[in-house]
Structure 1
Amino acid sequence: MLKPHLSTFLLFFLLQFSLSTVRSATLSADITALKALKAAVKPSTIPPSSCLESWDFSSDPCSLPRLTHFICGLTCSPDSSRVVSITLDSQGYSGTLTPLVSQLTQLVILDLGQNFFYGTIPPSLSSLTQLQSLSLRTNSFSGYLPSSIGNLKSLQELDLSANSLSGYLPNTLFSLSKLTRLDLSFNNFSGQLPKLPPNLQTLAIKANSLSGSISKLSFNGLTQLETLELSANSLVGVLPGWFFQLPSLQQVNMANNSLIGVEIWKPDKECSELVAVDLGFNKIEGYLPVNISEYPVLASLSLRYNRLRGPIPLEFSQKGTLKRLYLDGNYLSGTPPAGFFAVPGGVAGSFGDNCLQTCPASSQLCLPSQKPGSVCKQMYGRCAWINARRAVAVKPQARDGDENSA
């Protein structure tokens, strides 16, 4: 008969063995994929204190408790058999993304952001049909965005910003029917915008090489789009009137493109949520679009450094929600409405570097100084400029032409 202390020790050992057996059931294909993922990273870029350093395959990846091995970077399913999340720490890992990651078929989150991964995005990622969030942001991935990305039907967030990806955006993006957030900023994508996923709430593709005009086909059905960031591209043409009537649109930034015009239709004042618009540093011509002042919650507007001319509409100064107004760097003429200067600090912004007359030098809004008269004469023509100055002297609030067109 066993002694009591030996019996207790044996029972404890058997219990631990039983638990380790139950909890050491990570699918072999998942283990193979994890091994390949780590092997594709240069060992010299894996610091001692990092998550990848703790990936020691002498232990089962999903075994519990994790005291020394696999202490971070991955999450397993409740039954400890499948890997459902990989979120690597930002430690400067350098390497490629192995195609074998496709074996992690229960993966819901894949985040390798803010490291130095390079090479192409493997098309085999399309096998991860359960994936809801994919982030490869701030790495050095290059090449095309695989058209097979459209197979990720569960994807809700896709962030590939700050890489070196190039080529046209695949039409298969439209197939990502559950996608609500798409960020492809700071890459080298070119060509026109394709038809966009229908449930997008946030779209950011700034600082690329997109070209062509804004097409209704691309935005058709986007009833939930709230934030649009397309600045610093090569977009051309006229921004059409339907654009600002997308029903959920709140923030628009299309600065630093080559747009030549903008149409503003009167809004549905009960439904419009448009808060901020930045169309600065384009080539927009014509008069300031007065209809934009009718958007009920508009708080910030920038049309700086375009080719706009004529007076600043009185309606702009009467809009109580407007807190930021940047109109500098155009060819605006006449006298700015007095309402802008009635309440000190009421509106922030700039009317400087225009052709305005009698803009109060004491106001920050009138900085920097106006363009030389010779530049304004060249824009308006000598006689028209002289007549404009005379009109200001007689009727300070006179307005040129039809400011409803832009």
Structure 2
Amino acid sequence: MQNLNSLCLTIISLFLIYTNNKILVVQGVTSASDIAALKAFKASIKGSSISPWSCLASWNFSSDPCSLPRRTHFICALTCTPDSTRINQITLDPAGYSGTLTPSISQLTQLITLDLADNNLFGPIPSSLSSLSNLQSLTLRSNSFSGPIPPSITTLKSLQSLDLSRNSLSGYLPNSMNSLATLRRLDLSFNKLTGSIPKLPPNLLELAIKANSLSGPLQKQSFEGMEQLEVVELSQNALSGMVESWVFLLPSLQQVDLANNTFTGVQISRVARGGSTSSNLVALDLGFNRIQGYAPANLAAFPALSFLSIRHNNLRGAIPLEYGQIRSIKRLFLDGNFLVGKPPPGLVAAGTAVSGSLGDNCLQVCPGSSQLCSPAQKPSSVCKQAYRGRPMP
């Protein structure tokens, strides 16, 4: 019996040695350049901002970053290539890390994802990021990065998503933005960017550059060839001039937010025969601009339009009757203008499903039973002054 027990122990020992050897065989050894880049990355973060429970606290270089299993070291924030030799993703936890982004990050040439969002990183964005030729997603959202957007970023030919929003970036947008041929989503909102909008990447689905200091008109050449663009968010800038027909006729456009700019007019002249278009436009916000003249009646030709705001502009004349015939409309905001006359019956009739506001205008009749008629209309003295004593239409 004792011999049998010894034999069993021997077999178990041999099995464990074999198993351990197999583990060693499948364990990769991370490339020296990647380890050096990770060390530089961690060193550029202030030690006082690395909480004991955070991902970076587990980055202990006494073990290999890509070795398996990783139970105590490198427990989160990075992943490795299937052969366990290169780092291909860094997704940093939002743990309040403070520090800079080291230029040595460029050594991680197999990175597909770099996500450092929701921390307190500061300083410039390194131009060396251009070496990350495999990068598909770059997210630096909600940090304190400053300085210009490095033009070298526009050489990242595999990039599909770029989110630099909620930082302190300044200067002009790179003129070579359109070279990002694979880019699908671009968010540069809530920065300090200035100047006009250059020619944009042709395959964008979503464009967001709201809450900056962009200026000048919207130019057709900036959006040339953008057949797939669905969402445009350019509110809270200093964009000016006319919003022309071509904007609304971008073939895939669904949502447009141009509120809080200094646009002075809207031109919608191209409407298909029969009074409608093939547009997919669902939501349009032109509120808080300086748009003058009549409310554009041709907006009623967009068959999917559900949300429309032209609030707080300088619109005059009557509300187009066509607005009461938009079957898809659910929310309509025309308040804060100088509109006169009666609202279209389709908007204020009992049982209508349209919400929003026609208040703060010069309407002579707006039924109190309709919630659209709130708040109250402007005092008649204000309306008369706006029309300079001439009879209101």
Does the pair score TM above 0.5?
yes
- Alignment of 1:160 with 2:164, yes or no, is yes
Q: Distance in 2 between matches of 1:249 and 1:211?
A: 22
Aligned to 2:115: 111
Instruction: For residue 22 of structure 1, report the CA deviation from its aligned partner.
Output: 4.5
Stretches of structure 2 that go unaligned for 5 or more consecutive residues are 1-5
Length, aligned pairs only: 384
Aligned to 2:148: 144
* SS class of match (2:347): helix
Q: Which moved more, 1:119-128 or 1:10-19?
A: 10-19
Q: Distance in 1 between matches of 2:175 and 2:31?
A: 35
Q: How does 1:346-357 map to 2 (within 5 A)?
A: 346-357=353-364
8 Å contact kept, 1:287–1:309: yes
Opposite residue 261 of structure 1, the aligned amino acid is G
Q: Which of residues 272, 295, 320 in structure 1 aligns to 2:327?
A: 320
Aligned to 2:373: 366
Q: Distance in 1 between matches of 2:52 and 2:389?
A: 73
Instruction: For residue 384 of structure 1, report the CA deviation from its aligned partner.
Output: 2.3
Aligned to 1:262: 266
- Alignment of 1:65 with 2:72, yes or no, is no
8 Å contact kept, 2:357–2:371: yes
Aligned to 2:32: 28
Stretches of structure 1 that go unaligned for 5 or more consecutive residues are 389-406
Q: Distance in 2 between matches of 1:249 and 1:168?
A: 25
Q: How does 1:202-351 map to 2 (within 5 A)?
A: 202-268=206-272, 269=276, 271-351=278-358
Instruction: For residue 21 of structure 1, report the CA deviation from its aligned partner.
Output: 5.7
* SS class of match (1:75): strand
* SS class of match (1:85): strand
Opposite residue 233 of structure 2, the aligned amino acid is E
Q: Deviations over 1:145-185 (max 9, x none)?
A: 00101110000000000000000000121110000000000
8 Å contact kept, 1:242–1:265: no
8 Å contact kept, 2:38–2:105: yes
Q: Distance in 2 between matches of 1:177 and 1:335?
A: 50
Q: Distance in 2 between matches of 1:70 and 1:265?
A: 60
Q: Distance in 1 between matches of 2:137 and 2:327?
A: 40
Q: Distance in 2 between matches of 1:270 and 1:257?
A: 27
Opposite residue 382 of structure 2, the aligned amino acid is V
Q: Distance in 2 between matches of 1:322 and 1:361?
A: 21
Q: Distance in 2 between matches of 1:22 and 1:297?
A: 56
Q: Distance in 1 between matches of 2:382 and 2:282?
A: 34
Q: Distance in 2 between matches of 1:298 and 1:166?
A: 35
Q: Distance in 2 between matches of 1:99 and 1:53?
A: 21
Q: Distance in 2 between matches of 1:55 and 1:296?
A: 55
Opposite residue 247 of structure 2, the aligned amino acid is F
Aligned to 2:190: 186
Aligned to 1:78: 82
8 Å contact kept, 2:277–2:302: no
Q: Distance in 2 between matches of 1:281 and 1:48?
A: 47
* SS class of match (1:171): coil
8 Å contact kept, 1:149–1:172: no
> Judging changes above 3 Å, is the alpha-carbon distance between structure 1 residues 302 and 270 closer, same or farther for their aligned structure 2 residues?
closer
- Alignment of 1:382 with 2:368, yes or no, is no
Q: Distance in 2 between matches of 1:114 and 1:347?
A: 38
Q: Deviations over 1:12-57 (max 9, x none)?
A: 3464256336514111100111111111111111111111111111
Q: Which moved more, 1:343-352 or 1:239-248?
A: 343-352
Aligned to 1:93: 97
Q: Which moved more, 1:5-14 or 1:187-196?
A: 5-14
Q: Which of residues 5, 13, 16 in structure 1 aligns to 2:20?
A: 16
Q: Which moved more, 1:367-376 or 1:123-132?
A: 367-376
TM-score of the superposed pair, with normalisation by structure 2: 0.95
Opposite residue 346 of structure 1, the aligned amino acid is A
Instruction: For residue 339 of structure 1, report the CA deviation from its aligned partner.
Output: 2.0
Q: Distance in 1 between matches of 2:390 and 2:253?
A: 43
8 Å contact kept, 1:245–1:267: no
Q: Share of identical aligned residues, percent?
A: 59
Q: Which of residues 179, 196, 201 in structure 2 aligns to 1:175?
A: 179
Q: Distance in 1 between matches of 2:383 and 2:314?
A: 12
